[in-house]
Amino acid sequence: MSIDVELVPFLTQLRELYSQPRGFARFKEYLDILRSQTGEMELPISNVNPMAKPQVLEYVEQLIALDAESEALQAARDGARRFDGVDDALRLIVIVADDAQGGWTNRYFTEFAHRYERKHEVARGWATVMLWSSEQPSPNLVRTRALETLYRTVDERAHGPVRTLREILDREMRTQRFAGTTSRYEEPAYRSKVEPYLDSRAAPIVFAALYGDAAAESLGYPPLGIPESERGPLARSPLV
């Protein structure tokens, strides 16, 4: 038994899209890429900003120069060999979400949905590696993000989606150990703050517990007295 991971190349196509002037023609081409002839989503690229400014094109070009898709594929295939007794087939794609200068994306909301609300992508075997235009591109960043995506996808396909805060934190801790990163989710001070909410499924509560009061209030959710992590908006330690 094994997990087969195949790459669906997309960055070159994204570069061609962003090379066009910003306007209706570019947006229409994005919709053509996004949807199949049946009108259903063909590729999981709804988090791509079709009207991104030139700095995102530069970011995509940097990723292509790094051969980011090959890095992600190799990392995912290496990670796939670490699962015992799992037989599956996944399609891996690398996309860029724009949180630098575009108004298209709320990073917190988009990250939450990407991690915990992608049942249709997961059901279709997509392992979507999402990078952010504000991040410094590097092979290590790409590999780490690929391992995180792989683990969440394999886990959800095997065990179903996580719903309660307890389930989410448990999977995140396993994901980050798998990828070799750390988070505040295991720190006693943080756990004591979220303890009363561990069995909650309410999106505002779960969101505030994961990302802190500032992120919650940016979406109109009530605060829980949880500060944003000093390690950044996603509570992950810096990559080395």
pLDDT digits (tens, 9 = 90+) for 109-143: 889 999 999 999 999 999 999 999 999 999 999 99
- Give the three-class secondary structure for 195: helix
Distance CA 161, CA 126 (A): 14
pLDDT band at 230 (very low <50, low <70, confident <90, very high): very low
Residues β-bridged to residue 183: 236
Residue 37: Cβ within 10 Å count: 7
Better pLDDT: 34 or 1: 34
Mean pLDDT of 81-86: 92
Q: How far apart are CA 143 and CA 205, in angstroms?
A: 31
Tell me, what's the pLDDT at 1? 72
DSSP assignment string, 35-95:
B-TTSSBSSS-TTS-TT--HHHHHHHHHHHHTTHHHHHHHHHHHHHTT-SS--EEEEEEEE
pLDDT at 21: 94
Residue whose entry in the numeric block shows the structure tokens 């006693």:
188
Cβ partners under 8 Å of residue 74, min gap 6 = 143
DSSP H helical segments within the chain, as ranges? 11-18, 24-34, 54-65, 68-80, 107-116, 119-123, 139-159, 165-179, 188-194, 203-211, 213-218
Q: How far apart are CA 106 and CA 104, in angstroms?
A: 7
Evaluate if residue 12 carries a pLDDT over 90: yes
Token code pair at residue 239: 């990559």
Please report which confidence band the pLDDT of residue 82 belongs to, taking 50, 70 and 90 as the band edges: very high
**pLDDT score of 102 more than 90:** no
Query: Confidence band (pLDDT; 50, 70, 90) for 35?
Result: confident
Pair of tokens at residue 103: 């108004």
